[in-house]
Structure 1
């Protein structure tokens, strides 16, 4: 991780050096700069300065102590300046990192969308080198286009 970029992202998220346990580029299609924080409350307390982190996809993850059947809390801040409620590509990249380093078990549940009032649960399973991401979905908008 480039030290200047990491410092910029920490500033944009109002984090000190000691707040970040680890940082890693993760990539499962779109690339994300992922930060591991100490606990769920630190992730939920973030108030990103989107102007400061503009142009960079930033994901943040922390262990939850198993609250509500989730092992990790995740937040995704897009390069376009908004928070994504549930993000498969980020969760897949984080899963490769956390399971590959032994931080996470080969199967776990991540919660995402909490701050946005969403109850997203992402089910992660790693089998050898394959990572599987799943979850339940709700159709919010349905339509047809005739050309």
Structure 2
């Protein structure tokens, strides 16, 4: 059977500066092993597979794989796969809204505006154990006085997040010092100076894709937005930059509307 796949560049308007994604459009008949092997072959951060939904309220079902494992949810694969589904003739049941079925359930994607945005899935927020905080901070040489707060965030993937004093602190971290699986999904966020093009700088270190860090991570940014909102620190739109350290120029915006939306 001939199958179609589309390569997308997500969270950027400049080709090759965002996060690459392969979307297999005709995935019927593929096993999970087939999908995993194909994802390893593409060697992109994620590869996705479009399937008929099993939930009658969904427009399509999505399976998401890194080169080494399946993910229940991820942000840039959600937006890129939605764009590929629409490009290949998909028509949502409700105008302006696509409903994607994936490992965390139904994710709604608003396509009514100039750029698509997904409703951030519910996020479990927990304190980071002191031992893990100290282990990661020590490995990355994060000075204690530059760590503002930490948390473990779970919205399908699990993120160990450090909020640092500034964007410069985030950019100074050496991603070569941490790798998966010894260290798993470390998120760093720090504010840019007022008046900058972006509000925050974000990095995601030790991804399971085999890269030193992720170019841009929609699910991490969605989890951070949920964390900030839960603490009363997200009162309007925020725009983050990510990927600078590896030569990318990607950005995402989160807002504090009901459900919290994260978009490209």
Normalised to the residue count of structure 1, the TM-score between the two structures is: 0.82
Note the C-alpha offset of 1:38: 0.3
* CA distance in 2: counterparts of 1:56 and 1:127, whole angstroms: 30
Instruction: Specify whether residues 84 and 44 from structure 1 end up closer, same or farther in structure 2 by C-alpha distance, changes over 3 A only.
Output: same
Match of 2:160 among 33, 36, 56: 33
Note the C-alpha offset of 1:78: 2.9
Q: 2:219 matched to 1:92?
A: no
Instruction: Specify whether residues 36 and 53 from structure 1 end up closer, same or farther in structure 2 by C-alpha distance, changes over 3 A only.
Output: farther
Note the C-alpha offset of 1:67: 5.2
Match of 1:70 among 183, 198, 205: 198
1:42 aligns to what? 169
* CA distance in 2: counterparts of 1:105 and 1:117, whole angstroms: 31
CA RMSD of aligned residues (A): 1.9
Normalised to the residue count of structure 2, the TM-score between the two structures is: 0.47
Q: 2:235 matched to 1:133?
A: no
* CA distance in 2: counterparts of 1:41 and 1:78, whole angstroms: 19
1:59 aligns to what? 187
* CA distance in 2: counterparts of 1:101 and 1:53, whole angstroms: 30
Question: CA offsets per residue over residues 65-101 of structure 1, 9 Å max, x none?
Answer: 2454210100001343620010011001111112221
Where structure 2 has 5 or more consecutive residues not aligned to the other structure, the ranges are: 1-127
**Structure 1 SS opposite 2:256:** strand
Q: 2:137 matched to 1:10?
A: yes
**Structure 1 SS opposite 2:261:** strand
**Structure 2 SS opposite 1:84:** coil
Divergent runs of 4+, >6 A: none
Computing the radius of gyration from Cα coordinates, the structure with the larger value is: 2
Instruction: Specify whether residues 8 and 75 from structure 1 end up closer, same or farther in structure 2 by C-alpha distance, changes over 3 A only.
Output: same
* CA distance in 1: counterparts of 2:240 and 2:195, whole angstroms: 11
